[in-house]
Amino acid sequence: MSKPELIKGRFRKDLKYRAIITKVIAGDRIVSEIHFDDQTTTELVTLIAGIRTPRSSDAKTGTAGEPFGDEAKKYIEVRLNNQRVHIQFIGTSSTDVPIVKVFHPAGNISEKIILDGLAEPSDWQSSLIGPQGMQLLRNAERTAKQQGKGQWKSLVKPVVSSPAGSSTFKVGSSIDATIHRVVSPDTLEVELSNGNVELVYLTSTRAPRAVEPAGVFLPQGREFVRKYVGKKVKLVTDAFRNEKPLVSITLPNGKNLAESIILNGYATAIRHRRGDDDRANNWDSLLEAEEASIKEKKGIHSTKIPEPEKLIEASQDANRSKIHLRTLQNKIKVKGVLEYVISPNRFRVVLPKESIRLVLVLGGLSSLPKDSPLSGEIIKFNNKNILQRDVTIEVYDADKVGGFIGNLYVGTSTRPYQIELLSKGYAQVHDGSVHKTKFEDAFFDAEEDAQDKKLGLWVNYDPEEAERQFEAAEEKRRLKYEEKNAKFRKPNAFDDDEDEDLENIPEHLRNFIVR
Domain segments of the chain as ranges: 6-152, 174-301, 312-458, 476-515
Q: What is the structure's pLDDT at 373?
A: 87
Which residues on adjacent β-strands are paired with residue 132? none
Q: What is the pLDDT of residues 387-440, one digit of tens each?
A: 999 999 999 999 999 999 999 999 999 999 999 999 999 999 999 999 999 999
CATH topology of domain 174-301: OB fold (Dihydrolipoamide Acetyltransferase, E2P) (2.40.50)
177, 346, 481 from 403: Cα distances, Å: 35, 8, 33
Establish whether domains 174-301 and 312-458 are of one fold: yes
Residues 76, 54: contact at Cβ < 8 Å?
A: no
pLDDT at 150: 93
Q: Binning pLDDT at 50, 70 and 90, where does residue 165 land?
A: low
- How far apart are the C-alpha atoms of 148 and 512, rounded to whole Å? 125
Rounded distance between C-alpha atoms, residue 145 and residue 428, angstroms = 62
The fold of the 6-152 domain, in CATH, is OB fold (Dihydrolipoamide Acetyltransferase, E2P) (2.40.50)
**pLDDT confidence bin for 308, thresholds 50/70/90:** confident
Which pLDDT value is given to residue 506? 61
Confidence class for position 479, pLDDT limits 50, 70, 90:
confident
d(CA 450, CA 209): 46
Selection from 482, 488, 314 nearest residue 406 by Cα? 314
Share of the chain above pLDDT 70, in %: 91
Q: What is the pLDDT of residues 218-271, one digit of tens each?
A: 999 999 999 999 999 999 999 998 889 999 999 999 999 999 999 999 999 999
Higher pLDDT: 457 or 154? It is: 457
Helix (H, G, I), strand (E, B) or coil at 459: coil
How sure is the predictor about 515, in pLDDT bands with cuts at 50, 70 and 90? very low
pLDDT value of position 262: 98
pLDDT of residue 9: 83
Q: Distance between CA atoms of 513 and 113, rounded to whole angstroms?
A: 127
The predicted structure's pLDDT at residue 332: 86
Integer Cα distance of 292 and 259 in angstroms:
11
Question: What angle in degrees, to the nearest 10, is found between the helix axes of 283-296 and 131-147?
Answer: 150
Assign 3-class secondary structure to 350-395. Answer: EEHHHCEEEEEEECCECCCCCCCCCHHHHHHHHHHHCCCCEEEEEE
Calpha distance 145→154 (Å, rounded): 10
Query: CA-to-CA distance for 261 and 269, rounded, in angstroms?
Result: 10
Q: Residues 59-68: what's their mean pLDDT? A: 88
The third-level CATH classification (topology) of the domain covering 312-458 is: OB fold (Dihydrolipoamide Acetyltransferase, E2P) (2.40.50)
- Cα angle for residues 395, 439, 407 (degrees, 5° grid): 25
pLDDT score at 465: 74
Which of 201, 206, 268 is closest to 240 using CA atoms? 201
The predicted structure's pLDDT at residue 47:
97
**How many beta carbons lie within 10 A of that of residue 381, not counting itself?**
18
Tell which residue, 172, 222, 176, 179, has the closest CA to residue 197.
179
